[in-house]
Amino acid sequence: MATFFAGESHTFSEYLLVPGYSSTDNIPANVSLKTPLVKFKRGAEPPLSLNIPMVSAIMQSVSGPRMAVALAQEGGVSFIYGSQPVEDEAAMVAEVKSYKAGFVVSDSTLTPENTLQDVIELLERTGHSTMPVTEDGGAHGKLCGIVTSRDYRLSRDDRATRVAEFMTPLEKLIVGEEGTTLKEANDIIWEHKLNTLPIVDRMGNLMHLVFRKDYDSHKSNPDELLDTHKRYVVGAGINTRDFAARVPALVEAGADVLCIDSSEGFTEWQKITLAWIRERYGDTVKVGAGNVVDAEGFRFLADAGADFIKVGIGGGSICITREQKGIGRGQASALIDVCDARDAYFEETGVYVPVCSDGGIVYDYHMTLALAMGADFMMLGRYFARFDESPTRRVNVNGSYMKEYWGEGSARARNWQRYDLGGSKKGLSFVEGVDSYVPYAGPLKENVQGSLLKVRSTMCNCGARTLCELRDKAKITLVSATSLVEGGAHDVVLKDTDQSINFRS
């Protein structure tokens, strides 16, 4: 006879927070969102913490170097996707670790032989109007000039015009030399009233761009997450097949934390992977594991040595595991069960193993619910895929800007390692994810800050100024289908269709 769980399997949308007493100190400015990323012993400080409870998913369509830098600037961590060759993933990690704040590697580079039509298409794809021109079109090729929106007029210029004919040529540019510091670069920008300063090496090859707007941005990142060498913190995904080659390469590249990327973590494969890492690196390499959906799965991975444990199967917006296999559990029910197990494990062993809620976040308020239910932090895919910093193309679909978004279990990703059940077969025989679009939402910074302002405000309504306090003080109630209708605008004729105040995260 099968084991049956009591009660129904619930999602975040089936719950609401009930307000608690708020003192005059309960204002968003007083709220700290700092949270442990990896396990620690009672009375000790966590070896790694997040300044905001958000990490980006281990997905091709979400977490590349640009996302990693942008999220670290806000206080979170990206996990560079592992469904790529070892050397490519290690190179991405190294790129993040070598990033110099304020110095940008161009992702919108042209050749002199490109045309105005190419400029328009590149602008459409990246959203960046400043485009360096190099001899070979590479980000580090010999600099020939630069194109900005001031160099052409779409209303009158021929789309076939070569870039060489309308770019601002190198001889008219002010450039910085290799070794220029950020302060020196910004002094040049202000002195010459520039928007952009190219930095070139002694051979005239483009190295970086420094933007006027990034100076203010750098000064406004008080929560940025740095390692002991003042480099951005970055994570990386691994699998249970080639870990013996992948882990050393990622550690050498400077990855601060690893995570086993798997659709289901209650397996001997993950135990073997964790044991291999502990045997060779001890506790110096931090590695998360998962995913699980119940207390038994949590205990298995905690005993196996996981530094944090991910919760969630089938709750992601592009995941169809539940449809295909009938495997999973409502994200809220899974999270509550696992967090109870985490607290019991802490009481028994004195070791606190953080829990990451992975999937099921649709609205911003779901984040606060997840944290109130016990999650230490959240892993988000669709949320981050919408931003400029995700690795995918921005495309126009029926008049609206979208970003491409596909699951690791989709035919496009073919990430067989994530769904590996052993054996010699090296391909997915059926898909567990879809290929899709998500509405383009602009830059990460303003979106993350907007979402977290809602989290802080709700915490104040609950009388909490820290995430620990939120878990202690939160009062949560199940809601009926009728209550869900009552919770939105109803029985009125809306004057305009702008729903930004209830925007989906």
Residue 33 to residue 52: CA distance in whole angstroms: 5
Check residue 103 and give its pLDDT.
82
Flag whether pLDDT at 501 surpasses 50: no
**Higher-scoring residue by pLDDT: 46, 319:** 46
What residue spans of 9-113 are helical by DSSP H? 65-74, 86-97
Q: Based on the residue annotation, tell me whether 259 is a catalytic residue of this protein.
A: no
Q: Which two tokens stand for residue 129?
A: 């109007």
Phi, then psi, of 40 in degrees rounded to 5: -155, 160
Neighbours of 222 (CB within 10 A): 8
pLDDT over 90, % of the chain = 72
Instruction: Quote the CA–CA distance of 403 and 386 in Å, as a whole number.
Output: 6
- 491: tokens are 């029985």
Question: Residue 488: its pLDDT value, please?
Answer: 75
Cα(274)–Cα(268) distance, rounded to whole angstroms?
A: 10
Residues comprising the chain, all counted: 505
Instruction: Express each pLDDT in 462-472 by its tens digit.
Output: 999 999 999 99
pLDDT in tens, 272-305: 999 999 999 999 999 999 899 999 999 999 999 9
Report how far Cα 279 is from the mean position of its chain's Cα atoms: 30
pLDDT digits (tens, 9 = 90+) for 5-58: 888 889 999 999 999 999 999 999 999 999 999 999 999 999 999 999 999 999
Catalytic residue among 66, 329, 386, 418: 418
Q: Which amino acid is at 252?
A: E
- Residue reference for tokens 């942008």: 70
Mean pLDDT (whole number) for 189-202: 92
pLDDT of 406 strictly over 90: no
Query: How far, in Å, CA of 129 to CA of 119, rounded?
Result: 9
Q: Which of 408, 375, 406 is nearest to 261 (CA)?
A: 408
Residue 428 predicted with pLDDT over 60: no
Q: Which of 144, 259, 319, 339 is catalytic?
A: 319
Angle value at C-alpha 302, between 300 and 307, nearest 5 degrees: 140
pLDDT band at 499; cut points 50, 70, 90: very low
**Averaged over 187-212, what is the pLDDT?**
92
The pLDDT, as a whole number, for residue 480 is 85
- In the residue annotation, 418 being an active-site residue is answered as yes
Q: What is the pTM of this model?
A: 0.80
